[in-house]
Chain A
């Protein structure tokens, strides 16, 4: 096996392993973002108006 082919084999093994490591890491990032920044429902308009009127009443 020539040095060039050996180097290519080394780059191939390390490269492919490296991509899997990177992507696994990104997978964990996605799980963390989904856990700590979950989707929150927007309040319905009626609830929002109710909150505003309660605040105005308490100020009076």
Chain B
């Protein structure tokens, strides 16, 4: 009896499998030791190990005795939850239940930074086409710039499922790296004088928002978005549904369940299921490195777009009413990390400059902006590609 019969997994092991097991271990290390998005990176890292041991029963295998395919549990989860988009949409319910839109009601103009900071998505998409990707793949790569895991998964699973693994790893890794990516870009684009600008929005911080307005908001947004772009309804609708559960005041148990149990359960399944696309043959390609590089490009230019838009608006605003350009960088969807990073940067320059509230307003706007961007890409790409 040879090694192949006794230990088929070892006989079938290649250097690519070992590299992927190493990648899985690195993701687990980043999750545990560095606390980088552990909710996703740990399941993804562990899943990468599961699927890169040859003949793993976690994946569909052909039974050599019968020639029949034996379904692996991760393939079942993938077909049921990712291919159908159910898992990311359930996460949207959870995210919606966690969002408080009252900072946005206090500073509604900051919603526009949620638009400007999606600039990196489209620039990256164009750059990806220059590198030879087709429109669908380029859009799936560009959406990493949404800084929104579920949106990235929905777009990638629809347009480029073969790239879902590296896109997910890039999206979640860079979301965790926002404190490292954004500050140098912001310092490059702004002067010290601009970073010292104090926002004159202190008067808005105590403004009270009516419960009726917070209840009506998700309903009206869903109807408006659905009429304008029906293909965005699954993303925006599920986000707003979660928010309505939170704000209605009569479903506190459901709201708590959505924010905790639903979020945790689906995240566990989502993370480990995405890993089913991280097999050595799919992941160890030049494409993966290019996608990871393009993901960083997208995040950098998201920050660029937000900051430059703020500087542009300041050309038309009087002294004393200027916007601190760093707030523009909060228009990405990485909530609340981006807001905290910008507040800390502001405090470093001037300990009496409190940018947290306007930063959170812009950051909440970014959460809506990323979902709208995803909806627009889901609408436009099938029409034109």
Asked if B11 is an interface residue, CB under 8 A from chain A, the answer is no
Known: A15-B377, A39-B208. A8 touches B108 (CB 8 A): no
The residue on A at minimum CB distance from B373 is A19
Determine the distance from Cα of A2 to Cα of B111 in the docked complex, in whole angstroms: 35
In Å, the complex CA distance between A19 and B146 comes to: 12
Total residues of chain B contacting the partner, CB 8 A: 48
Q: Contacts of B118 on A, CB cut-off 8 Å?
A: 16, 19
Query: What distance in Å separates the Cβ of A13 from its nearest Cβ neighbour in chain B?
Result: 8
- Asked if B209 contacts A16 (CB within 8 A), the reply is no
Is A52 in the interface zone, CB < 8 Å from B? no
1/0 per residue, CB under 8 A from A, across B197-241: the answer is: 000000000011110110011001100110011000000000000
Is B9's CB within 8 Å of the partner chain A? Answer: no
Contact residues of A between 8 and 60, Cβ < 8 Å to B: 8-12, 14-16, 18-20, 22-27, 29-31, 33-34, 37-40
The answer to whether A29 touches B220, judged by C-beta atoms less than 8 angstroms apart, is yes
B30 proximal to A (CB < 8 A): no
Partner of A4, one of B109, B135, B208, B372: B135
Contact B104 A19 (CB under 8 A): no
CB <8 Å contact, B129 and A8:
yes
Which of B58-66, B83-91, B119-127, B259-267 contacts the other chain?
A: B119-127
Whether a CB of chain A sits under 8 angstroms from the CB of B380 is: yes
Task: Provide the residues of chain A in CB contact with B104, threshold 8 Å.
Answer: 30
Q: What residues of chain B lie closer than 8 Å to A14, measured between beta carbons?
A: 380
**Within the complex, what minimum Cβ distance (angstroms) separates B158 from chain A?**
15
Q: Which of B104, B121, B122 has the most CB of A within 10 A?
A: B122
Complex CA distance for A39 and B106, rounded to whole angstroms:
12
Q: How far is the CA of A33 from the CA of B106 in the complex (A)?
A: 12
A9 to B108, CA, bound (A): 30
- CB-nearest residue of chain B relative to A14? B380
Q: Is the CB of A30 within 8 A of B111?
A: yes
**Of B114, B216, B376, most A-chain CB atoms within 10 Å:** B376
A31–B138 CA distance with the chains assembled, in angstroms: 36
Q: Is B194 an interface residue (CB 8 A)?
A: no
| A40–B221 CA distance with the chains assembled, in angstroms | 23
Say whether chain A's binding surface is mostly helix, strand, loop, or mixed: helix
Knowing A19-B369, A29-B220, the reply to whether A11 touches B122 (Cβ < 8 A) is: yes
- A8 and B124 alpha carbons, distance in the complex (Å): 10
Residue of A7, A16, A23, A31 most packed against chain B (CB within 10 A): A23
Q: Which residues of B contact A29 (CB under 8 A)?
A: 217, 220-221, 224
A27, A37, A39: which contacts B109 (Cβ < 8 A)? A27
A10 to B376, CA, bound (A): 13
Contacts of B377 in A (CB 8 A): 11, 15
A33-B213 contact, Cβ under 8 Å, with A11-B122, A18-B376, A20-B115: yes
Nearest 8 CB-CB pairings of A with B: A12-B122, A8-B129, A39-B208, A37-B213, A33-B213, A37-B212, A23-B115, A30-B108
Beyond known contacts A4-B134, A9-B126, A34-B105: 15 more, CB 8 A cutoff: A5-B130, A8-B135, A12-B126, A14-B380, A15-B122, A16-B119, A18-B380, A19-B376, A20-B115, A23-B368, A23-B372, A25-B224, A26-B224, A38-B213, A39-B208
- B interface residues, Cβ below 8 angstroms from A: 104-105, 108-109, 111-112, 114-116, 118-119, 121-123, 125-126, 128-130, 134-135, 138-139, 207-210, 212-213, 216-217, 220-221, 224-225, 228-229, 365, 368-369, 372-373, 376-377, 380-381, 384-385
Task: Name A's B-contacting residues (CB within 8 A).
Answer: 2, 4-5, 7-12, 14-16, 18-20, 22-27, 29-31, 33-34, 37-40
